[in-house]
Structure 1
Amino acid sequence: MFQYIDQHYEAVSFGGRDLRDGELIRCTFERCSFVGASMEELATSGCRFVECDFRGALLNASTHAESAFLNCNFVEANLFVSAFTGCKMMGSDFSKAQLDGFTAVGGDWSYTNLKHARLSKQDLRGICFKEADLSNANLEKADLRGCDLTRVNLSQTKLKGADLRGAGMDGVNWPSVDVKGVRMDTEQAVLFLRSHGAKVD
């Protein structure tokens, strides 16, 4: 096990390295590569990763608290049972990432690419997903209460059994959303009806 505290790295390659069971505290990584790195059970706290590449990295069972992953690439990364608490993930790409069993508590996931993500039955309450791409994602029975879903792409997203009550949904393209079996509040229902041409007094 290793521990790095208050370190700063810029354009450093950690690709393919064994970084398992390590602890990163208040470290900053800018434009660093972690391609194919073994990062199972890694713990980060208060760290910043800016434009870093985690393609194919193994982040199974890793934990992250109050860390920021800004415009990072997680394509085909393994995030099985990883946990993100109060993290900023803005602009990051999770295409083809393994997200089964992962947990997210609060935080800002604005502008993220979560196409085709399997997030069924997840407790995602209060997370900011502003302008994220959740098209074709599986959010069946997910708890999305209080989320910021402003201008989120929900085209062909599976939402059956999901709870959207209290979520901000301004700018959502409602005609592209399948609301069958979805729990909605009155304000959302009005937005949905108006998007289909109804006049609601």
Structure 2
Amino acid sequence: MYQYKEQSYNEVRFDGRDLRYGELFRCTFTKCTFTNTSMEEVVTTNCRFVECSFRGTSLNGSVHTGTAFENCKFNDANLFVSIFNACKMTGSDFSSAQMDGITIAQGDWAYTNLRHARFAKQDLRGVRFFEADFTDANLEKADLRDADLTRISLSKARLKGADLRGAKLDGIDLKGLDLKGVRMDSEQAVIFLRSYGAIIN
């Protein structure tokens, strides 16, 4: 096991390295690449990754607390059973990433690319997904209570059995969604009916 504390790295290539089981505290990585790097069970705390590439990186079993991944690329990365606790993921791209069993606790996932993500039965309560792209994602039976879903893209997304109570749904075309079995609160139900032209007194 290794530990990095309060280190800064700029445009460093960590590609293909064995960085498993490490602990990173308050480190900053700017425009670094971790292509095909082994980072299984890495623990990061209050770190910051800016415009870094994790293409093909193995991050399964990793735990991240208060860490920011801003505008990072996770294409084809393995995030199996990884944990993101109160992390800032704004603008990051998860195209073709393996995200089964992932844990997302709170945090800011605004503007992320989560196309085709499999979040069935996931607990996503209170997460900020402002303008995230969930095109063709599986959100069946997902718990999205109190999440910020403002202007997210849900084209072809599966929502059967999802719980949306208390979630912000501003800017979403509800008419274009299959909401069969979706749990909504009374305020959301009114918005849904009005989208179909109903007059609510």
Q: Same fold (TM over 0.5)?
A: yes
Query: Which TM-score bucket, shorter chain as reference?
Result: over 0.9
Map 1:1-201 onto structure 2 (within 5 A): 1-201=1-201
What secondary structure does 2:170 align onto?
coil
CA distance in 2, matches of 1:30, 1:180: 44
Count of matched residue pairs:
201
CA distance in 1, matches of 2:60, 2:45: 17
CA distance in 2, matches of 1:165, 1:6: 40
What secondary structure does 1:92 align onto?
coil
Unaligned runs of 5+ residues in structure 2 are none
CA distance in 2, matches of 1:128, 1:98: 21
What secondary structure does 2:192 align onto?
helix
Q: Which amino acid aligns with 1:21?
A: Y
Q: TM-score, normalised by structure 1?
A: 0.98
Q: Which amino acid aligns with 2:134?
A: L
What secondary structure does 1:171 align onto?
coil
Identical counterparts, % of pairs = 63
What's the offset of the Cα at 1:200? 2.0
Q: TM-score, normalised by structure 2?
A: 0.98
Please provide the CA RMSD for this pair. Answer: 0.7
Q: Which amino acid aligns with 2:34?
A: F
What secondary structure does 1:125 align onto?
coil
Runs of 4+ aligned residues of structure 1 deviating over 6 Å after TM superposition are none
CA distance in 2, matches of 1:101, 1:130: 22
